[in-house]
């Protein structure tokens, strides 16, 4: 999802703005970052941006499938530019540290439910929960950080 971000935006019928470019770059250099983390990153680069511009842009980019949003329990939403595959996530219950886990199957839905209750299932989302090496060491308690 790197390369010509400008191109990418245009291809999806979006206007090219400094804010959007900066947001794309921020997501790319901080995978699984929260909106607030990304706001800080973007401000460090382009000086200033409104909260709403960031939320709005993240929304439109997710909608256009240029970004993916994950919403793990106890955390604000996180964003990544690794889209179009069906990877999963490994999350530390204490500090929220998040890793990508490659899907063994590849395509979604990568697991089948025994009983589908008539649903049209399009995804099997898998979240591996645990404790990261550093939180294990320090005996950190369960207070996931945003």
Partner DNA sequence: AGCCAACAATTGACTCAGTCTAATATTTTT
Partner DNA sequence: AAAAATATTAGACTGAGTCAATTGTTGGCT
Give residues in contact with a second copy (CB under 8 A): 69-71, 73-74, 77, 88, 90, 92-93, 99, 101-102, 104, 109, 111, 113-133, 136
Question: Which one of Mn ion, Zn ion, a second copy, none interacts with residue 80, CB within 5 to 8 A by kind?
Answer: Mn ion
SS3 category, 135: helix
User: Looking at the chain, how many residues does it have?
Assistant: 146
Q: Tell me the C-alpha distance between 42 and 20, whole Å.
A: 10
Contacts of 28 (CB under 8 A, 6+ apart): 1, 2, 81
**Closest to Mn ion by CB, 46 or 97:** 97
Residue 141 binds to DNA (criterion: CB under 7 A): no
Evaluate the CA torsion angle 53, 59, 63, 69 in order and state its sign. positive
Site for DNA in 43-102 (CB under 7 A): 48-53, 55-57, 59-60, 71, 76-77
Contact positions toward Mn ion, by CB under 5 A?
A: 80, 100
């Amino acid at each position: 999802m790197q390369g010509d971000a400008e191109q990418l935006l245009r291809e999806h019928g979006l206007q090219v703005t400094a804010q959007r470019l900066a947001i794309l770059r921020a997501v790319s250099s901080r995978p699984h970052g929260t909106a607030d983390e990304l706001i800080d990153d973007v401000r460090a680069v382009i000086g200033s941006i409104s909260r709403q511009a960031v939320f709005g842009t993240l929304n439109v980019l997710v909608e256009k499938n240029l970004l993916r949003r994950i919403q793990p329990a106890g955390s604000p939403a996180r964003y990544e530019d690794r889209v179009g595959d069906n990877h999963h996530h490994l999350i530390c219950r204490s500090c929220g540290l998040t890793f990508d886990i490659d899907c063994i199957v590849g395509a979604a839905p990568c697991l089948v439910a025994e009983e589908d209750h008539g649903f049209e299932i399009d995804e099997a989302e898998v979240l591996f929960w645990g404790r990261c090496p550093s939180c294990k060491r320090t005996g950190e308690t369960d207070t996931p950080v945003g």
